[in-house]
Structure 1
Amino acid sequence: MTASDTRPDRRKSYHHGALRSTLIETSVALARAGGPDRVVLREVARAAGVSHSAAYRHFADREALLAEVSRYARAQLGAEMRRRIDQTDDVLLRLGAVGAAYIDFALSEPGLFRCAFVSHPVAAGDPPAAPSTDDAAPEPFTILGQVLDEAVHAGLMRSQRRPGAEIAAWSAVHGLAVLLVDGPLPDTPPAVAFAVDQVLTLIANGLLNQTDT
């Protein structure tokens, strides 16, 4: 018996489904630390303690794995948006809560935020390519649309303004989030609060009936 025969095998053995979950969890951890650039199959396999060939049996390429991380990130963002809007029945406050949750998520989880929309099959109208890590997770774009529908039903927005309103609102909030996370806007609490108030006021003035002349 040679020394190599007695050397412990450092590779882990996983049940088929468990390895897929482990690879996703490992990818999420790497994405949290460094964004989408850290989600590389070889690096993920190494961090999970398996061979890269084992990882390729579950994900055809990096894009397939990144799609799962992206879906997970959107699920986390959607859950935070839902948690915020569930705290009030006031439609105007619910609309503001959606935007505030989006900004807070971007600042608290910049790595996941950068991954959230690198793959977006649901928003694009295509079915998911693989089972989600959380099939019941609400899509952020869907949540925004639901709150805007509530604004119409509550008489805060004209029905003629509703088509495409989520595009305008989303663009403004997402743009602010990127400017805060990646610069050049300052991200001190007072500066963030001021910027969020400015953008949410702009959205309300542009979409809601209270500013009609």
Structure 2
Amino acid sequence: MWALSTLGYSSVVTSATYHHGNLRAALIETGLAMARESGPDGVALREVARRVGVSHNAAYRHFADREALLTEISAHAMEQLTEAMRTRIEAVSTRLDPVSGARRRLSEVGRAYVEFALAEPGLFRVAFASKADGAAESPLGPPTGEGPYGLLNDVLDELVATGYLDPARRAGSEVACWSAVHGFAELCLDGPLRLLPSSQREEVLTRLLDTVDRGLGDPA
């Protein structure tokens, strides 16, 4: 399981926490814990305030409504998904040749995405729950740099640089890859694939990632 360490504070909320001016952090932490248990539907601002031990009016001074809190929780959940993907990418052996290394990193990006969804279904669902308008070009964040979407695009650009992915076929490849792993994750969480034993699910995931890989590299 992924811990809440990315938030930079303890998972235990105490009265001292918000007495020292960290009520906002305590509200986010408690909301994350509730989201982990029940997904976005389980997050209610009044209940978060009650669990922290403050009045709902105190909570409203930091978040205008439930949606504002959910937006913040969503961002933190997305950070944890990003970290899971980055860890997988960095674990790929540097001894591989450039093409093999890039292909392996793409596979690990997809595998990390699905593994996070299955290990943390509540956080995975809340990561995509916010309806707030933002400046990001994608719900997953900007197309380059930080965030899951940026990591995916970076690896795809690496595949182009190594000659495995034709530059003419690069456009839209990130959406195809994202759709494949997100759809698979949803089928495993709420669809018919939830009934698969873990060993069979792993086998199907491997086939899926191999199909994506070969589809990107096949000039036909």
TM category (shorter chain) comes to 0.7 to 0.9
Conservation of the 8 A alpha-carbon contact between 1:81 and 1:140: yes
What corresponds to 1:189 in structure 2? 198
What corresponds to 1:7 in structure 2? none
Distance in 2, matches of 1:205 and 1:122, equals: 34
What corresponds to 1:97 in structure 2? 108
What corresponds to 2:148 in structure 1? 140
Conservation of the 8 A alpha-carbon contact between 1:79 and 1:138: no
Give the C-alpha shift of residue 95 in structure 1: 0.4
Conservation of the 8 A alpha-carbon contact between 2:138 and 2:149: no
Unaligned runs of 5+ in 1: 1-10, 129-136
1:69 aligns with 2:76: no
- 1:36-75 map, 5 Å: 36-75=40-79
What corresponds to 1:164 in structure 2? 172
Runs of 4+ in structure 1 off by over 3 angstroms are 120-126
What corresponds to 2:121 in structure 1? 110
Structure 1 residues 92, 122: CA separation in 2 closer, same or farther (over 3 Å shift)? Answer: farther
* Percent identity of equivalent pairs: 50
Give the C-alpha shift of residue 65 in structure 1: 0.4
Give the C-alpha shift of residue 15 in structure 1: 4.2
Give the letter aligned to residue 212 of structure 1. P
Give the C-alpha shift of residue 188 in structure 1: 2.2
Bigger drift between 103-112 and 181-190 goes to 181-190
Structure 1 residues 98, 122: CA separation in 2 closer, same or farther (over 3 Å shift)? Answer: farther
Give the letter aligned to residue 208 of structure 2. V
Give the C-alpha shift of residue 17 in structure 1: 4.1
Q: Deviation string for 1:94-140 (max 9, x for gaps)?
A: 000000000100010000001111238464369x9xxxxxxxx9310
User: What TM-score do you get using the length of structure 2 for normalisation?
Assistant: 0.81
Distance in 2, matches of 1:122 and 1:71, equals: 13
Structure 1 residues 69, 55: CA separation in 2 closer, same or farther (over 3 Å shift)? Answer: same
Q: CA RMSD in A?
A: 2.2
Conservation of the 8 A alpha-carbon contact between 1:75 and 1:138: no
Unaligned runs of 5+ in 2: 1-13, 95-100
Conservation of the 8 A alpha-carbon contact between 2:117 and 2:124: yes
Structure 1 residues 125, 204: CA separation in 2 closer, same or farther (over 3 Å shift)? Answer: closer
Distance in 2, matches of 1:79 and 1:122, equals: 22
Q: Deviation string for 1:80-101 (max 9, x for gaps)?
A: 1001011124111100000000
Distance in 2, matches of 1:124 and 1:15, equals: 38
Distance in 1, matches of 2:146 and 2:20, equals: 27
Q: How many residues align?
A: 192
Distance in 1, matches of 2:124 and 2:138, equals: 21
What corresponds to 1:86 in structure 2? 90
SS at match of 2:54: coil
